[in-house]
Amino acid sequence: MRVVIVGGRTRADYLMGALAEEAEAVVVINDDRRFCEYLSSRHEGTVIWGDGTKRSVLEDADVAGFDAIVALTGYDADNLAICQVAKAFLDIRLQLCIVSNPENTRIFRQLGVTAAISATAALTQAIRDAIGAVAPDEGEAAAEDADQREPDDEENIDPEEDGGEEGGSLLSLLGSWHRIGKDRR
């Protein structure tokens, strides 16, 4: 498989390394010269300093006919443009990109992008899955245990109590805090 990666920093670095053994060729295009120098010192493969949102740069990179393009810029509109140019003019079969706005995943698919991936949506789903993995009985038992335990001495501190020789209250020393539980005072 031949893959071109456009934009990105940490993601491009990681992906380039991850694909090194699997891919026949990996080409990275990035508009940050120093980052290109860094990538080329770390990885085998071709690194091109240029603006990957421009069709002429993509054509000059000689990536026409590659199997996949991965657009990792920080701008959804740029990633869409990269994918559309790759599909329409460079005959790149798979167009993959990240999106900042999760709602754009559906829109990008409707516009012909093979896959638009939202880190925000993936994180949200992972959190939902983790919350759902906790049995409701376990969560209730933990809450009951917390309600039945004996309060520590630290919990009985009066926030309005004199703060010592310097004067002032603990509230002024510690900032804002709130006690939450059955026996609020």
Q: Is the pLDDT of residue 36 over 50?
A: yes
CA distance 91 to 104: 23
For residue range 80-120, list pLDDT tens digits in order: 999 999 999 999 999 999 999 999 999 999 999 999 999 99
Q: Which one, of 123, 122, 105, lies nearest residue 114 by Cα?
A: 105
117-141 average pLDDT score: 83
What pLDDT shows up at residue 140? 59
Q: Which one, of 64, 72, 68, lies nearest residue 24 by Cα?
A: 68
Higher pLDDT, 131 or 160: 131
What pLDDT shows up at residue 155? 45
Q: Which one, of 127, 89, 87, 125, lies nearest residue 109 by Cα?
A: 87
What is the pLDDT of the chain when averaged over all its residues?
84
Higher pLDDT, 18 or 146: 18
Tokens representing residue 118 in the block: 């939202």
Pick the CATH number of 2-124 from 3.30.2350.10, 3.40.50.10320, 3.40.50.720, 3.30.1360.120: 3.40.50.720
- Domain residue extents for the chain: 2-124
What pLDDT shows up at residue 184? 52
What pLDDT shows up at residue 139? 54
Residue 2, classified by CB atoms within 10 Å of its CB into exposed (0-12), middle (13-18) or buried (19+), is middle
Q: What is the pTM of this model?
A: 0.71
